[in-house]
Amino acid sequence: MKTKANPFVWIIPALVFFIVFLLFPLVFGVVISFYNWNGLDPNIFRNFAGLANYIKLTKDPYFLISLKNTLFFTFGTVVVQNVIAFFLAIFLFFGRFKNSTLIRAIIFVPGVISSVVVALVWRRLFMSDGLINVILNYIGIQSIPFLTAKNIIIWAITFVHIWQWTGFNLVLMYAGLQSMDLSLIESSSIDGANFWQNTYHIVFPILKPIIWLSVLFNFIDGFRVFDIVYNMTKGGPAHESEVLTSYVFFQSFGGTAMANKMGYASAISVFLMAILLIFTGLRTKYMR
């Protein structure tokens, strides 16, 4: 009995951490989503709301804006980051540049910097009197309201995220290329295959598992994004740059008449979790 119990004794610290900081908040969040609770009332289960919070999601214009922005941000970053990283990895790997390691390090550096710092720096660059608009004015182009125009702001946030994290995807794909048998490329080239044929028929299939892994990371990261949005715009102006996570924060701790709705915020969180579980399940089934 003692021998059989030993493994469980060793995992107790991790198990306690998992239950206290992950499992309990998860279950509590799901339960609270069925109640109207402001986060301050000691009687948490006073006002049962049933499915009212979930029904409200379909009628809340700001939630729909945050969902649209999250989808745009996620799919934009997933596609652009992986496409750029894929071709950069091929370019650096087959280019055999003398300073290839230095180039990869420079591209990867933004991913090491805190996202808060990145957001604050780019926020300053995007301001009406920031460096980007100063340069545009210098070459005769009118200033662009990157942080105030509702049709531009989500593009600016997406660009910053792509700038920061493309290097991470590049490192993954470059590592995959290093495991490739170069004789495959040499043989196909001798048989008359060009660059694009080699890329499509040899390189892409070899990198496919890594690309799927990268897509999964980017997808989850896209739906969880908060720090860049909050520190660049705080969801403004007028919630036009809101994403699901920032809207959850606003409903929970926004400090306005609309805020302090923990039950409604939990319903948004459960909705977000459901999307991630569905995607992860489909990805696992497909990759199996």
Does residue 200 belong to any structural domain of this protein? yes
**Per-residue pLDDT tens digits of the chain, which is 288 residues long:** 667 778 888 899 999 999 999 999 999 999 999 999 888 888 888 889 889 999 999 999 999 999 999 999 999 999 999 999 999 999 888 877 778 788 888 889 999 999 999 999 999 999 988 999 999 999 998 989 999 888 899 999 999 999 999 999 999 999 888 888 888 888 888 888 888 888 888 889 889 888 988 888 898 889 999 999 999 998 888 889 999 999 999 988 876 555 578 999 999 999 999 988 888 887 777 766
Does residue 3 belong to any structural domain of this protein? no
Does residue 120 belong to any structural domain of this protein? yes
Does residue 21 belong to any structural domain of this protein? no
What range does the domain containing 82 cover?
60-287
CATH number, domain containing residue 108: 1.10.3720.10
Q: What is the pLDDT of residue 256?
A: 59
- Is-above-0.85 flag for pTM? yes
Does residue 107 belong to any structural domain of this protein? yes
Count of domains for the chain: 1
Tell me the three-class secondary structure of the chain, residue by residue.
Answer: CHHHHHHHHHHHHHHHHHHHHHHHHHHHHHHHCCECCCCCCCCCCCCECCCHHHHHHCCCHHHHHHHHHHHHHHHHHHHHHHHHHHHHHHHHHHHCCCCHHHHHHHHHHHHCCCHHHHHHHHHHHHCCCCHHHHHHHHCCCCCCCCCCCCCCHHHHHHHHHHHHHHHHHHHHHHHHHHCCCHHHHHHHHHCCCCHHHHHHHHHHHHHHHHHHHHHHHHHHHHHHCCHHHHHHCCCCCCCCCCCHHHHHHHHHHCCCCCCCCHHHHHHHHHHHHHHHHHHHHHHHHHHC
Does residue 43 belong to any structural domain of this protein? no
Does residue 44 belong to any structural domain of this protein? no
Does residue 12 belong to any structural domain of this protein? no
